[in-house]
């Protein structure tokens, strides 16, 4: 089931929130938890019943390991259970996500002809697998205690963040589950959550999907598009991915907020970053936190020699690339960021100081003072955005060869005009008719109008991306006024009327 679907907006969530508060407000906390778990299973099983079975088995096996670990005080036995748990979770993830990738590489290296399995990747498996690995590690360290099974099942299956994050920790969610009994609907909190949901929905439906149509068109005709076309496709995907993924996370936080839960912030205006280090403090923050806690720090973090620290950084970004997708293009994308991160860190390390991340608990290097001059800081912003956009080409392309073709086009193709098919993909004909009609320029031809809308839309979103506060900040600062309700209602109605072409979220693929 998708957040951006009629069944979710008009049937699923109204039933879920109504039943939840009916039970919770009567001090039926366990019943309220079971109610949300039931809806979470419906939400996940809506995609495929087989996916649901995989998740249920994963929850059961991991909970058994938690119970076993809780019974032993001996460190060796606890470590053995942890290793077993991590291995089982990675084997599950590896089978569904990396088996065909492994077979393909073996066939290439050894000239063998092992048939591909063509296994469908269960939605969200990368997210709920990492979440459970993190919980096992926290139990082993003594940072968490054995939860009740219902709480653990809710922790893993909670539908707002189940299939695309954010990746939450037990210390964030378990205390909130303990306060469900007696919880009553808070109109102001529900209003702020609804605002955040609508803003996230608008980011997905009105912005990301518009860019997505043009990006798909561009990648389908790489052989014929020119240099300007290729550059625009690169920028469009940079914006599409951000508004798609952050839109999902905004909706997840809004839905959780309406139910009285707080999810951690996952995006903090990443394209406003000063450099790559700052970018990863702002982009997919809970994944960065996961790799920091469970990979980078156990490897020694920055407490070892400078050379070993750089190796640790590269290991983290290699794994990050591989986590995102079973392909060498994803590995290359990760290494591009890892190398840039290491270079920036080395170049400005004398400016570093420890700060607490806004995502509440990760100590990271702060490079905010690395470029005090305003002009240099603006150049640093632009350079970071361009570099990140360049790296996204490898993330979006089906292969390194396809990515290289798009990049080659930028340097060898013409920059005189934009391929009409790209501009046409931006706005559907019916929508454009209204734009032309109400602009007062009915004589404008559609080719010119398509290009005009494409240019204005792209520039407007770029300005909003670099200058406007993010949706989370807006939802926190917004005041409950009649005009606010009207504006959010109008925006929500616009989004609902645009749901005829329902599209999945990009991170469902990862």
Over its C-alpha atoms, the chain yields an Rg (Å, rounded) of: 24
Q: How far apart are CA 368 and CA 347, in angstroms?
A: 14
CA-to-CA dists, residue 202 to 3, 156, 177, 294, 450, angstroms: 12, 27, 30, 35, 21
Q: From start to end of 339-495, where are the E strands?
A: 354-356, 363-365
Residue 14 CA, distance from chain mean position? 25
> Any idea what DSSP says for residue 6?
H
Contact 273, 387 (CB under 8 A): no
Q: With the C-alpha atoms ordered 247, 242, 268, 165, is the resulting torsion angle positive or negative?
A: positive
Burial class (CB in 10 A: 0-12, 13-18, 19+), 461: buried
Catalytic one among 324, 337, 381, 450? 324
Q: How far apart are CA 58 and CA 492, in angstroms?
A: 36
Residue 259's nearest CA partner among 510, 481, 498, 40 is 40
351 is catalytic: no
Count of Cβ atoms closer than 10 Å to residue 289 Cβ: 22
Cross-strand pairs, 355: 364
Q: How many helices (H) and strands (E) does the chain have?
A: 22, 2
Q: Which residues are catalytic?
A: 324
């Amino acid at each position: 089931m998708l957040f951006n679907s009629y069944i979710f907006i008009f049937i699923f969530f109204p039933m879920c929130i109504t039943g939840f508060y009916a039970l919770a407000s009567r001090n039926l906390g366990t019943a309220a938890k079971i109610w949300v778990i039931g809806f979470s299973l419906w939400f996940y099983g809506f995609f495929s019943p087989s996916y649901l079975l995989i998740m249920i088995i994963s929850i059961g096996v991991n909970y058994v390991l938690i119970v076993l670990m809780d019974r032993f005080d001996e460190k060796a036995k606890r470590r053995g259970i942890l290793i077993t748990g991590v291995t089982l979770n990675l084997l599950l993830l590896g089978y569904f996500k990396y088996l065909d990738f492994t077979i393909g590489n073996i066939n290439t290296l050894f000239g063998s002809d092992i048939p591909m399995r063509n296994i469908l990747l269960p939605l969200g498996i990368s997210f709920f697998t990492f979440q459970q690995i993190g919980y096992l590690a926290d139990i082993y360290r003594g940072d968490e205690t054995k939860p009740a099974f219902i709480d653990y099942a809710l922790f893993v299956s909670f539908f707002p963040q189940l299939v695309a994050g954010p990746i939450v920790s037990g210390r964030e969610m378990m205390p909130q589950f303990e306060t469900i009994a007696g919880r009553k609907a808070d109109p102001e909190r529900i209003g702020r959550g609804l605002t955040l949901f609508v803003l996230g929905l608008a980011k997905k439906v009105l912005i990301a999907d518009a860019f997505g149509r043009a990006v798909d068109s561009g990648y389908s005709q790489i052989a014929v598009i020119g240099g300007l076309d290729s550059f625009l496709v690169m920028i469009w995907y940079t914006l599409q991915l951000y508004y798609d993924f952050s839109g999902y996370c905004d909706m997840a936080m809004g839905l959780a907020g309406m139910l009285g839960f707080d999810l951690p912030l996952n995006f903090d205006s990443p394209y406003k970053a000063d450099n790559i280090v700052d970018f990863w403090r702002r982009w997919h923050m809970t994944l960065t936190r996961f790799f920091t806690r469970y990979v980078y720090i156990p490897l020694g973090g920055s407490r070892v020699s400078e050379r070993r620290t750089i190796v640790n950084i590269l290991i983290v970004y290699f794994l990050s690339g591989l986590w995102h997708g079973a392909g060498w293009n994803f590995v290359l994308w990760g290494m591009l960021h890892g190398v840039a991160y290491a270079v920036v860190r080395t170049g400005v390390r004398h400016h570093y100081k420890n700060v607490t991340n806004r995502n509440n608990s990760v100590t990271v290097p702060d490079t905010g003072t690395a470029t005090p001059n305003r002009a240099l800081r603006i150049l640093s912003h632009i350079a970071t955005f361009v570099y990140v956009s360049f790296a996204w080409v490898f993330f979006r392309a089906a292969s390194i060869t396809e990515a290289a073709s798009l990049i080659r086009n930028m340097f060898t193709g013409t920059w005189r005009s934009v391929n009409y098919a790209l501009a046409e993909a931006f706005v559907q004909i019916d929508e454009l008719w209204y734009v032309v009609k109400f602009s007062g320029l009915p004589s404008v031809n559609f080719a010119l109008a398509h290009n005009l809308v494409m240019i204005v839309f792209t520039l407007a979103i770029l300005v909003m991306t670099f200058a406007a506060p993010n949706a989370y900040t807006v939802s926190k600062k917004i005041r409950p006024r009649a005009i606010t309700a009207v504006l959010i209602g109008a925006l929500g109605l616009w989004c609902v009327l645009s749901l005829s072409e329902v599209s999945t979220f990009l991170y469902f693929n990862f």
